[in-house]
Amino acid sequence: MELEKTLMMNTLFSFYGPLLTKKQQEYMQFYYGEDYSLGEIAEDFDISRQAVYDNIKRSEAILLDYEEKLHLVEDFNRNQQSMAEVRSYVEKQYPEDQKLIQLIQKVSYEPKREGK
């Protein structure tokens, strides 16, 4: 499995996973999160390998469609880059201003992940 695609799917799943059905969430979590093979997932759920494959492909398309329409991941990445630039500037220009550094840390965030 291609690492870039896995990273992209895991990121999309972090943002949009709750919008998938319970089964889609489970298959995506096992396949991309836990690195199970299609055969292992099929065995665990007592379904065909083809059914798992079809479900994962459909789920991937749904996640990509959500991102195309909503741009949450794109916006998050852009905001994180901007915050990194602000943080770097503040650390260089105002290294003694702990309050400012704390405020910047406060507005930096990570997407919510299932189970956290």
115 pLDDT higher than 50 = no
Q: pLDDT tens digits, residue range 24-33?
A: 999 999 999 9
**What are the C-alpha distances in Å from 3 to residues 40, 45, 46?**
20, 25, 28
112 belongs to a structural domain? no
Name which of 13, 54, 55, 16 is nearest 34 in CA terms: 13
Within 13 Å of residue 35, how many CA atoms lie on the same side as its CB? 4
Within 13 Å of residue 93, how many CA atoms lie on the same side as its CB? 7
Quick one: 59 and 22 in the same domain?
yes
Q: Are 77 and 70 in contact (CB under 8 A)?
A: no
Q: What pLDDT shows up at residue 109? A: 63
Its domain, for residue 91, covers 73-107
Tell me how many domains the chain contains. Answer: 2
Quick one: 77 and 61 in the same domain?
no
Q: What pLDDT shows up at residue 107? A: 81
60 belongs to a structural domain? yes
Q: pLDDT tens digits, residue range 41-83?
A: 999 999 999 999 999 999 999 999 999 999 999 999 999 899 8
At 29, list the tokens.
């979590």
Quick one: 66 and 93 in the same domain?
no
More confident residue, 101 or 13: 13
